[in-house]
């Protein structure tokens, strides 16, 4: 139907997500499906192979303290983690995919979308319990970084 489909994948069989726009596994979820890697080059090879096999526009692997990496047809976009004190990682992945969806719906490019999603996740991990990142909080962090 020409709609973007964003998936936070579960389990070890990603074939059911073939044709989605983007999958957003965390590092451990991706390792469960693709196997371990020895270095960044091997990670890129495994990620791009899975992206192509599943006919995805992109694969976004969230990597905790290493930030996130977006694997697309044009290569890899890396987004370093936002340095913050971490209180609780609950909901960080949900925040990433929700923010990514909003940004893509507004026509923002992938690099900017993952930048803002990363900032939003940084906001929520700096709070106790499952929390939200407000527009004002995200904008404040973005203003600090510019």
Average pLDDT score, the chain: 92
**What is the set of active-site residues?**
94
pLDDT interval class at 129 (50, 70, 90): confident
Q: What are phi and psi of 86, to 5 degrees?
A: -100, 125
Q: What is the mean pLDDT of residues 59-72?
A: 93
Please report where in the chains the tokens 């469960």 appear, as a residue.
32
DSSP 3-state assignment of 107? coil
Q: 93-124 pLDDT, tens per residue?
A: 899 999 999 999 999 999 999 999 999 998 98
CB 84 within 8 A of CB 126: yes
Look at residue 2 in the predicted model and tell me its pLDDT.
Answer: 84
């Amino acid at each position: 139907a020409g709609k973007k489909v964003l998936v936070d994948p579960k389990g070890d069989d990603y074939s059911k997500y073939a044709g989605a726009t983007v999958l957003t596994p965390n590092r451990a979820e991706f390792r469960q499906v693709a196997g371990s890697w020895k270095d960044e080059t091997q990670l890129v090879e495994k990620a791009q192979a899975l992206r192509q096999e599943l006919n995805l526009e992109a694969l976004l692997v969230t990597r905790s303290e290493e930030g996130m990496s977006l694997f697309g047809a044009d290569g890899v976009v890396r987004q370093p983690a936002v340095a913050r004190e971490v209180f609780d990682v609950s909901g960080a992945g949900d925040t990433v995919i929700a923010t990514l969806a909003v940004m893509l719906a507004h026509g923002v490019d992938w690099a900017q979308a993952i930048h803002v999603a990363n900032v939003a996740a940084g906001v929520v991990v700096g709070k106790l319990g499952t929390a939200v990142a407000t527009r004002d909080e995200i904008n404040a962090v973005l203003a600090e970084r510019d």
